[in-house]
Amino acid sequence: MKRHDSHSTEHLSKKTKLDCSSQSLIHLTNEILANIFLFLDPITDLLPNVMAVCEKFFEILGGKGTLDTKHIIYEKIILKSRMKLHRDRFDKAYFVRLVDFVSRAACVNACKVLKLGNNYDGDEGLSLVLTIDFFKKSKETGCFNGLKKLSLFNISIFKQMSQKNIKILKEWVSSLSNLEELHLNNLIPQDVMNAILIECKNLKHLTCVSGNLAINDDMGPFALESLDISTSDDNDINYSFFTRTPHLKKLAIGFNYCFPNTLFLNIRDYCRELTEFSYGERDMNETGNLQIMMQMNQLEKVCINTQELDLDIIRHIVNTFKLKMFPISLGSEGDFSDILEVLEETLELVDDSYVLYQAKPETNFLQKCKKFKQARRFLTFGETLENNHVTIGDLFEELPLLNELLLTLSIENIREQSLKGANQAFKLIHGKEGIVNELFNDTTFYTKIETQSRGSLKLRVRIVDFENMDYEQDEQDAIFKISLVK
């Protein structure tokens, strides 16, 4: 039997470790690298950073000719103006190059999500750089034919399009047969919208402006399950559109002084599967639309925005419908004792309540908040909490089911000073100053609070949207979503 040579074994072990540690990513196969790249963001990581590392990475990511074997990369392409990126990177040719990269490197139908721009007012977005060449190249290569989710926000090219460009755009959207979600905040040519509704037969969720519902009489029915036209600047709604949406389950139509009864009658008579309905009307008690809405007994979630609050109507809504959510808005003026009594009677019937509470300074603010024992979600304002000396930690302490809070903060130059907003949110959570030095993805930080009734709670704080984005104003509103992390 040979004697075991410990010295040789030790030497072999060191050599093996040395070899393993010196293994380079460059020596991995294209397939392994493609799977690694799948975890990175194309816009912020792959194209500006990884592609420039070496010739092999450049080739895998589509920088050269078409690969013999393609891979599942570029699955999600998301470019939001909130990202801290240099504007000069996105010239008019950038998106055409992006199409080239995707078509050369990615498998057929690999890209499932394409989102360009942010959906809030005042966003400069990508309106100055996206051209018709992008859609023309996309149609020619078919690189986005597998899209399931498409979002195009603040795209100025849709304005005053020539018939030639409309034809190119129609051909492109007609190729998106797998599309399930479409989100737009610009009015697009009606011929293009008609092509979407006809050719995208899997389309279930649509966000658009109400003016794009002016369909032809011979169109439909549509497979839509969710429709949001709540951000429209106009109220030119085609009432007959809702006669073609028999499977609609969720509808938001925004605010108006007075909607025609025909609109609500069509929704009541033809949208029999509707379970979530959101709308706003100033003269709600006079138009008769509220009474029509209350005949939709299948509704489970109702959101009503009005300047008039009738206690009997609140009672009737909550007691008539088998509601899972009833957003309640308590304004900043007036005596709410009667409303609170109604809520005390009825909120126990609601499984998932939204409470929006904006109030002037008052000593019993927290006591009123305690009445919402069933509230799982709470919407409020930084000014409201400061004026009443209440912290977000207090709300999580007193509301045993609370797991999500939307906080609106008005901060000067918030988009460039997101850390300032994050530190203000931290103070409202804990009631004391803190230091948030960094935000994950420029939007998110985590913190922990201690409560007597619920123990230690970990919270995720994330900027989810901006409002009042008028660059001539000194202050803008940032909406923070504060969620319980389980």
pLDDT, tens digit (0-9, with 9 covering 90-100), for 115-132: 887 665 444 444 456 788
The residue written with tokens 């002016």 in the block is 214
- Answer whether the bond into residue 260 is a cis peptide, omega within 30°: no
* Residues 173 and 148 sit within 8 Å (Cβ to Cβ): no
Whole-number Å distance between alpha carbons of 198 and 177: 10
* Residues 251 and 225 sit within 8 Å (Cβ to Cβ): no
**In Å, how far are 42, 69, 109 from 39, measured between CA atoms?**
9, 19, 18
For residue range 55-71, list pLDDT tens digits in order.
Answer: 888 888 888 877 777 77
Confidence of residue 197 (pLDDT cuts 50, 70, 90): very high
Whole-number Å distance between alpha carbons of 467 and 231: 12
Question: Mean per-residue pLDDT for 299-322?
Answer: 69
Whole-number Å distance between alpha carbons of 263 and 267: 6
Position 169 scores a pLDDT of 93
Output b/e per residue, 7-42; b: 16+ Cβ within 10 A. eeeeeeeeeeeeeeeeeeeeeeebeebbeebbeeeb
The residue written with tokens 């499984």 in the block is 351
For residue range 148-184, list pLDDT tens digits in order.
Answer: 999 988 777 777 788 999 999 999 999 999 999 999 9
The CB-based long-range contact list for 442-451 (8 Å cut-off, 24+ gap) reads: 442/82, 442/83, 442/84, 442/418, 443/82, 443/418, 446/485, 449/392, 449/393, 449/396, 451/393, 451/396, 451/397
Greater pLDDT, 269 or 81: 269
Assigned token pair, 166: 């409309």
DSSP state of 440: B
Amino acid, res. 440: F
Assigned token pair, 302: 């109702």
Question: Mean per-residue pLDDT for 188-198?
Answer: 91
